[in-house]
A and B are shown apart, each in its own frame.
Chain A
Amino acid sequence: MSHHLFLLSPSDTPLYSLTHFSTKPSQTVPSPLSANLPSWSTSAFAGTLTALSGASSVVQASTQGGGVRMGGGQDRHVIQMIANASLDVIEEVVRRDNGMYLKSVDKFNEWTVSAFVTPGNMKFVLLHEGKNEEGIRAFFTEVWELYVKVRTMLNPFHTAHNAIVSSVFDGRVRASARKYL
């Protein structure tokens, strides 16, 4: 099961991204309607369409027998598209929800999107497959703490638009991901 974390600035620019593969098995079952998908075209555009519709992951899942998908089994571009598209819902939910943690705020294809919006309008977006509400909440809280403390917000040279390149931050977020996800 893979997780994709993106830290997005208020102008939708990713400042940090992480792909985490957890050892837990994938819980989602592909829809029966997605079986026997036709490979009806070989053009590049069809490839785009296949990827965007989420079909490629299904195909891969069926070939690998639904085990742990290495490499996420997805086009990274599609993952980013989904994360970006989920901002629409996040923005709307934030308007009426006061909480920072927005659990399972959006679902797209087989992905569930959870988000965490900091008071500074930084958005932490996590794409995940299974349900792991408390784990994700704890993960987000820890990432937020790291974001604030480790070399970012408390760093006077860091603005809300700088990419986070700190290896300390990266290492700790990875450790946190291993712990909770």
Chain B
Amino acid sequence: MEHNTFASLAHFRILLIPVGSISRGTFDQWAAEIRTLENIRLSDIPPGTKDEKARFMPSPKSKGYLRLCFPTHPPPSLHYAMSLFRPSHFSLGVIGIASCSQKDSISSITAEFNAAVKDLFPPDSIYPLAKSCFVFEENDGTTNLNLGDHLPGLVIIPSMMGNKKENIETLLADLCSNILAEFSTIFTTLESSLGNEYLNASLFPSLPSLADFPQPLVDDEPESLLRLSSHNSQPELSPGPLRRGSTPILGMKRNASAGAGSPMASVRQNTLNVPITRKRQSLIGATSSHGRLFKVLGDFFMLAGRTEDASVWYAEAVALFKTATDPVWYASALEGLATVALLEAWSGQGFQTSISASREPWSDISEKLDQAISLYSRPGPLSESDQRYDLLAYLYTVAILRLCFLLFATWAAKGWGPLAFTALMHPGPAPYVPPTLSHPDSHLPGNRDRLSSISGITRSQMASVIAQAHGPWLLHLGHRERIVVLETIAYLYSSLGYHRKEVYILREVVGCIMDLLVCARAENGLTVASGIMVNGRGSGDSGAVAVKGIERSAGNESVLKLVKYICEVHGIDLEAVGFVNSASGKTPDERSVPQDANTDDLQENPYGWPELQIGIIREALAVAEALPDPPSVAQFSLSALKSLYTALSDDDQYHMYYTANKALTAARRRGETRLIGYWSGRPVVSIELLQPPPSRSLVENPISILAQRPGDASKLSQMTGPFLYNPRKSVTARGSTLVVTDEPLEFVLTLHNPFVFDLEIQDLSLSTSGVAFDTKPISVTIPANSYHPVTLSGKPLEDGLLIVKGCHAQAPGGASREFFLPLATAEEEEFRLRRRSAVACESGRTKYGGLDCRPGKSGKRHSTLVMTSSSRRSIPKFLECTVVPEQPLLRIRWSSLTHGAVMLYNGEKSTLRLTLENISNLPIDFLRLSFDDSTITPAQAALAEGDLSIYDAYETEYQLINRPVFSWNQDQENIEILPGRKVALTLTCTGKVGCTSGSVFISYGYLHRRHSTLSQPPETFHTRQISYPVLVTVYNMLECHNMDILPLRSGDYESDGTPVNKEMLFRDVEEEGWCLFSIYVRNTYGLPFEVTLERMPKDTSPASTSCIVAPGAMTRLVLPLKKVKLAEEITSQAIPMLSDRQFVVDKTKLSLEEYKLQRELFWYREELFKRVRGCWREAGGTRSGELSLRQQRITLPMLDTLRTETVRIQLDLFRRDGETGEGRSPILRKGGTYYPAPYDFIYLRARIANLSFQPLVLMADTAIDPADHVIQEGVLTDIPIGRLESGEVRELETPLCFVACGRFRVQVDTRAVNTATGDAVIGTATLKVAVREDNPR
């Protein structure tokens, strides 16, 4: 494939064609071998035999080169109109390359070669000028070629030949020599006046055929003329006026060449025949200008490697064209001059001379080309026959490309120098990539800018030149030329880094190729599909195009590569959805980076031009459909859907989805083995394990709890630890979920479909690791534009750890892909949040513009994000389930409650029976019950709040622990329920006001199972729980009020009208040290209740009092109690906490005494409730229960009454009888009042007993009121009693005499002395005395 290069005008083209049954590889090998011979020294070319053909022959000593170029493709037949205009465009010679094999005989090769040449070149063409066939002998030596056979134009190169290259070079030189000789023949024809007329006849003239040669019209001696002029290669054609027009540089060059080149040209060029030439000049000039003739001469000389001659003749031609209006030929001559200038520079001549101080050395060449381009673009008025727009457009574009190459090579070579010359001279077939552009950093803009600043050529300057080549006239060109031109333009743009422009051109290239394909198919029917194969990468690095045969997918591949590249530059990743080999079934890259899937949801800045992107996608689809390549159709449409769905319209989305499905079906029908990867982004949003029904849910317990009895603390079940805040609590709560072997699990997957069509997922299954998991994939259709929950179920087959990593999803016709879904741990959430905010932070700003911010380039761009992600990244956590061995299952078969409801009076106890049945295959050897009721939670909340006073807190705890609604006597704990057996449980249910509902929780498990190994016994065991809710109604029918404790002295009770049973009640109350407990009980219910107060037998005999309380009535109940004395060790104890909750420092600021008092009150109250118990019974019914007194408060006076005194003083009055006063007779006493007679000598006796636990030193004071009417002996106050040990009694007698009738009151106080705080009254007793006349003495 030819390739436009700058120096193409100087290239000596020799076509290489394969002959015979040569394989492509062999042909390429030999072609490459031949192509190494780019230059042949002129001195190596054998001189021709005939003199008249030696005009273009080099002298043996000349120093120039023939620049060979070996295309493998002949120019199109339409271009043969240019055969004289531009001989360098055509293959001057043909070399057939054949390989010897047994199949081909020499003669058949020759015949084939000749036929091929005939086939390739039109019959009226003057080319090729020479042909030769090289037959390479194969190495195996099995050829049967007879080397002796010599056929003309056939050369056999034996395999054992040592230096093949040298041999080939010689052969080539021979061929060139022949061609050069043919040049002379052609030119000889043109030189004649008829030839010149023909040459000037039309824009693209042809050589007159021999038949057209009108012999009579020519000169008398045409032969001599031709012969003479054939020697004349340095004519002195235009002596004065024409020469003046030539540029000084050209003149200089000519001089230089004349000086330097004279020895080499001496042999043939010195044989000038000036006069004859002059004569001929005048002769020919009479009819038409010689400009074209000279130009052709220049062309031939340039091809022949004689640049000086070429330069001279071009100059002559230009001089002539300046006056004539022949713009196209003029332009061509200018191009020739430009080429000559380069050749001279390359060979080192003229390089020095053309340097001038102010201008760039190449500016002269570029000016010439500029001029040529403008001339080509205005071809002037054309006659009908000259309107060869295809050729004109071709010449125009080629000229522009020539200029482009000049600028580009200079730019890429950092200026005008040998590197640039090499690039410009490079013949192809592949373009020469200068080292400045091929090193790895060359794509950086800095590199290109550096090249620009060194060479002085900016990229935009070049781009503007390239842009001139692009225009509607491209449509004039033939297909091949158009593709070549477009590819060259694309290559140049690509090398400049102008990728958008490159892509613009590449779209045209693709359009061109596809059009050919479609048209060819339309012509030949669908069976004969033909395509174009584009070699090399789509970026236009190489522009080789060859026709491809049917059913070769390499061409398709290349076209698709181009399309993908186009899309990539526009920011569309057509390979966003990859292919998966169906054998492996998994895409390795996606498996290795599971966490990157998370970033899908992060919105990056949109890149690109949505309208253009959609247009390009549509075109890409059309291309893939037309090829046809169904897998690519599917890939493209799905990739577009995946990456561009936000920009696509609804119709487009439908269409693409439909197209993709159709294409996938077609691909499968055609036996496509690859599968398309999963495409629709990330379908799974979340995975959750559906909680099993509560009866199947499992609890893990440490084995240690078996050891401890479920004590009272467990009643406060929420408060397992002593601390209010437990930092580990949340951790343990979030442990992995427990599931049971062989029991079904259900997972809820939330799927997302962002598209406007219903998305079908053929197979959706869970991706798990760890223990074996039996799950079945399901098929789902996600409705358009929505989130859709789906339940997947499965069964773990063994115990261990089950990790749910995500799910596998498979679209119809595609491959399955695994999606990972890490658990939304705090770390993960934080990471995502940070990422999101980082993206949000960057989203408004743009660090990179243009092509650099394409999504594909983001690896480098989001360096901050990448850094945070890599530094943070730990192994993602997945949903984990602990699979435990099989567990038994229990159910409640029967319960004694109807409708699960129970109705109770407050304090009533009733029983509840539950029958349990084991419905599993495993025995149950562990059973434990726990209870909950509606009173527990508020009480616990109140306790947890900590605002209760210490007193209330105790009371609340007491209620929780000692008066539960439900209780179970735990004798039955160690029962075992065998599979299929039943067991009955009996529970007690107590009525408690405020309770509305309760539950019974039955935890059970199979503990003592056989372990398969002898390893460490497990530290945990698992239980299941069933719950039995109970609806509780509690009626509060009796209320207690106004508890009081009153002092009671013997005889007090007699005063009131007492019922009969009181006698019995007070029977014991003989002595001192009793008090009276009284309480009011109110019946708020509609039925009468009999209420009983019971005195518990402690240090007294049991007693009870009861009465029937009518509905709505309030009754007072009294019960005598013995006073209580509690040791200080008890009363000084702090109020205890029944639960092990955290101690909270009391907020109330109490003094020490107040604390003491509080504790005393507490302990005496507790003691009181130990001694008194209330209970009730339904009057006339059977229901009975306890009457709680605990709501009642104890007050300080009550405490004083209840508590036994420190010092007890008993007073009585007596009279001494007898002489000695030994005998004593009591004074009449009634109702606690003594009735002595006046003026009688009586004694007041005070028995002072120390009832405390310490010894006391006491003083006593006696006060008698009114004191005036009493006479006593001794003092009444400050009577020393002395030290009394604990329990010691001392009597004090005071003789008295009442001297008046009336009522007296006697009071004795004892004071303790020696106390630090001074004296305190610690005991008091009073005595009432009624003195009357009639009292007995």
Contact = CB atoms under 8 A, between A and B. Distances in A.
Interface of A: 8-14, 30-38, 40-41, 43-46, 48-50, 52-55, 57-58, 77, 80-82, 84-89, 91-93, 95-96, 105-110, 121, 159-161
A13 B610 contact: yes
B470 to A, nearest CB: 7
Interface in B1234-1281: none
B606 A13 contact: yes
B467 A10 contact: no
Interface string B458-472: 111001100100111
B470 A109 contact: yes
B460 A105 contact: yes
Given A12-B850, A45-B622, A159-B843, A32 B501 contact: no
B463 A89 contact: yes
14 contacts: A10-B848, A11-B606, A36-B387, A45-B510, A49-B475, A49-B511, A80-B612, A82-B504, A87-B850, A92-B460, A92-B497, A95-B445, A159-B843, A161-B843
B476 interface: yes
A170 B1009 CA distance: 81
B844 interface: yes
A98 B1167 CA distance: 100
B459 A92 contact: yes
Contacts of B445: 92, 95
A57 B475 CA distance: 13
Interface in B567-621: 570-571, 605-612, 615, 619
B977 interface: no
Contacts of A45: 510-512, 514-515, 518, 622-623, 626
A164 B142 CA distance: 79
A77 B498 CA distance: 19
B508 interface: yes
Contact of B463 (A80, A81, A106, A110): A106
Given A32-B379, A87-B850, A121-B846, A52 B511 contact: yes
Contact of A41 (B458, B470, B515): B515
Nearest to A107: B467
Contacts of A41: 515, 518-519
B474 interface: yes
A6 to B, nearest CB: 9
Contacts of B508: 48-49, 52-53
A52 B500 CA distance: 13
Interface in B384-422: 387, 389, 392-393, 396
Q: Which of B472, B606, B846 has the most CB of A within 10 A?
A: B472
B383 to A, nearest CB: 14
A44 B622 contact: yes
Nearest to A47: B511
B389 A80 contact: no
Contacts of A31: 377, 471-473
A85 B615 contact: no
Contacts of A86: 500
A11 B475 contact: no
Interface string B619-651: 100110010000000000000000000000000
B597 to A, nearest CB: 24
Nearest to B376: A33
A13 B850 CA distance: 9
B515 A84 contact: no
A89 B460 CA distance: 6
B473 A33 contact: yes
A53 B470 CA distance: 7
A77 to B, nearest CB: 5
B565 to A, nearest CB: 15
Q: Which of A31, A34, A53, A57 has the most CB of B within 10 A?
A: A53
B1319 interface: no
B378 interface: yes
Contacts of A93: 460
A89 B445 CA distance: 12
A75 B514 CA distance: 20
A31 B393 CA distance: 11
B472 A58 contact: yes
B1318 interface: no
Contacts of B464: 106-107
B470 A108 contact: yes
Contacts of B510: 45
Q: Which of A32, A35, A88, A105 has the most CB of B within 10 A?
A: A88
B849 interface: yes
Nearest to B626: A45
A91 B515 contact: no
A35 B379 CA distance: 12
A41 B520 CA distance: 11
Contacts of A95: 445, 449
B519 A43 contact: yes
Contact of A38 (B475, B497, B619): B475
B81 interface: no
Interface in B969-1001: none
Nearest to A33: B473
B499 A88 contact: yes
A159 B844 contact: yes
Given A12-B607, A34-B471, A48 B619 contact: yes
B295 interface: no
Nearest to B501: A85
B378 A32 contact: yes
A32 B612 contact: no
Contacts of A44: 518, 622
Contacts of A38: 475-476
Contact of B609 (A50, A84, A121): A84
Interface string B498-534: 1111011001101110110011001000000000000
A53 B605 CA distance: 32
B1292 interface: no
Interface string B670-691: 0000000000000000000000
Contact of B500 (A13, A40, A84): A84
Nearest to A17: B611
Sorted nearest first, the 3 A-B pairs with minimum C-beta distance are A49-B511, A55-B472, A88-B498
B515 A46 contact: yes
A11 B608 contact: yes
A12 B609 contact: yes
A124 B499 CA distance: 20
Contacts of B511: 45-46, 48-49, 52
A121 B605 CA distance: 15
Nearest to A80: B612
Interface in B1192-1232: none
Contacts of B497: 88, 92
Contacts of B609: 8, 12-14, 80, 84
A8 B611 CA distance: 13
Nearest to A108: B467
B116 interface: no
A81 B502 CA distance: 11
Nearest to B614: A77
B330 to A, nearest CB: 16
A9 B571 CA distance: 14
A121 to B, nearest CB: 5
B449 A96 contact: yes
Q: Which of B387, B392, B608 has the most CB of A within 10 A?
A: B608
Contact of A10 (B458, B470, B504, B853): B853
Given A11-B846, A12-B571, A50 B475 contact: yes
B606 A161 contact: yes
Contacts of A105: 460
B472 A37 contact: yes
Contacts of B501: 85, 88-89, 108
A11 B604 CA distance: 11
B519 A52 contact: no
